[in-house]
Structure 1
Amino acid sequence: MKLVRYGKAGEEKPGLIDDEGNLRDLSKKVKDITGDTLDAKTLKMLRELNPKKLKKVEGKQRFGPCVGNIGKFLCIGLNYSDHAAETGAAIPEHPILFFKANSAVQGANDPVYLPRNSKKGDWEVELGVVIGRKCKYVTKEKALNYVAGYCVVNDVSEREFQTELTGQWTKGKSCDTFGPTGPWLVTKDEVKDPQSLDMWLDVNGKRMQTGSTKTMIFTVAEIIEHLSQLMTLHPGDVISTGTPPGVGLGMKPKPVFLKEGDVMELGIEGLGQQKQKVRRDK
C-alpha cells in the first residue's frame, strides 16, 4: 500500500495510490497520514478498503512529505561500506547518529534552497524507515515488527556547515528544505527485504550515485535495536539510514557541489522517485 499526503504545503490531505497508479482520497477514512494513523489496526483497515470506491483525485497534485507531524528525524552517518571508503573514513563501531530538524522536511518534488552562505551543497539518496509502534529496548530479531513502512529521503547536506563550522553535523543537515521525504510511504508488507533495494541519484541527468542497501554496515533492524536502547522511538518517527557512494564530496579529482539551477532526481527500488530543482535562498 502506498500512502500519500497531497495538496498545498500545510494543507495536505491523506490519500493512497491504487494499483493503476491513480490517486485516491482518504479524507473520509483518516484525518492525515501521521504517527496517529500508522498503528496496525488503522493500516489493516486501510489495506482492506476497495480503492475503486474511494474518490479519484483528478489532475496533477503536489505530494507533501509522506508522513505528517514527524516526531523525530534521526539520521545515520557513514552507514555504507563503499561510501565510507570513498570519503576515507573508518568503518564506525556503532551507528553514527545525528538529527535533522523537522523544519527541513518537505515534499519529494519541492525545490531545494541553498542557504545564503552555502558553498558546498551536496546530495544523498537514502532509505527512510517510518516507525509504526512505540519502540524501546527491542532486539534486532523483533525490530522490523515496529516498522510501519519505508520511503525515499534525500539527505541534502551543506558540507562546510557540517564539517567546518564548530559544532555537530546537524548544522549542515538541518537547513530549510534539506529533507525531501516521499513521494509516498510504502507499507512494510510490500517490502520483502529492506536490505536488498537498489538506489540511485542523478544530477542534471548524470548518474552520480548507484548503490544498494545490501552494503549497509548496520542493517535497518540493527539500527532500530541500537536507537531503541538510547531513546524511545514513537510512531511517526523517521530514520534515514545512510547513503551509498557517489556524493559530491567524494568526487575525484575534486569535489562537486550543488549550484542554483541544478536538478536532482533520485529513487529507490519499489519506493518511488523524487525530483528537486536547486534554488538559492535570498
Structure 2
Amino acid sequence: GYIAQLALLAGFDKVTINDVKMEPIEKCVGRIENGAYEKKEGLRALESAGKLGDGITADILLGRLEKEIDLAKAVEDADFVFEAVPEIMKIKQEVFRKLGEYAPAHAILASNSSTLSITKIGAHSGRSEQVIGMHFFIPLFGNRLIELIRGKQTSDEVMDTCIAIGEKFPCPYYKNEMYIARIEKESPGFIMNRTFGVLGIYLSWLTEQALEKGIMWEELEAGVAFTGDQMGWIALLDYSGLDIICDSLNYLHEALTPDIEAKRFLLIWLKREILEPKLEKVF
C-alpha cells in the first residue's frame, strides 16, 4: 500500500492495487487515506499539512486509485508493475511467470524483495531483461533510500528508467527526495539486509535474553532505536512484518551463512501473534 501511495504522490495518473482478496486491498486503501502506524502518513494528514502541492487534494489522488483482484486485468495496460508478495522464492517466481504472461510486452516488472535473487525471480518471467529489484525501506515516509538491483539480464535501459522513476517518488517528511542506491551486482540481502542480518545476530541474542530473563520490553526498546523518531528493535520487527522477517532470515540462512537464522522468539511471536498486544502495552 505504501508504494502505491508514493506512486500517487509522484503524480502517476492510474495506480492499481491487486491482491487475491478484496479485504486486504480495502485495508491498503484505508492506510493510504488515513495512515497506519503514524496517522501523519495518510493522504488526509498530508493534505492538512500542506504537503500535496497546489491544486492537489486527497480526494483527487484517491480517485486515481483502482482496486482489482484479477491479476490479468490489473496489469493488462500497465507500464510498470511492482511486486510485493511474501519473501518466498517459489511464490515470487510464480507471480513473475504470470506477469510475464499478462503484462504488456513493454512493461517493466519490479520486485520489492529485500533479500532474494532478482535473477532467479526474473527467470520465470520470459523477459529477464525487463526485471529489476526496487526495494523500498521503512518507515517509508522517514526513509529516503531505495535499493535498485540489477539482475544478470536486466538491461541498461530498464536500470536508467527505474532510476528516473525512483527519483520521482517523494519523501514528504525528509527533504522530499529519494536516494537511489544503484546495485550492479546482486548478492543475498543486497546492501542493507546483508549488513543488518549480521547486526541482527546480536540483536536477536539480546531479545532471546530478554525473553528468558523477563526483561521489560521497554528496556530493550529504549536501548536500540534505528530512526530519528526512535523506532525501537521490536517496533521495527512489527512494522516490517514478522512473516517477512522470518522468510528473509531463512533465505539468508541458506544462501549466505547459517549464523543468520530465525530465532526462537520470532517463531513464538509469529505463531502466537503476541507481538501486537505487547507493543500496545509498550507504546
**TM score, norm. by length of structure 1:** 0.23
More strand by share: 1
User: Relative contact order (alpha carbons < 8 A, sep ≥ 6): 1 or 2 greater?
Assistant: 1
Which of structures 1 and 2 has the bigger CA Rg? 2
**TM score, norm. by length of structure 2:** 0.23
More helix by share: 2
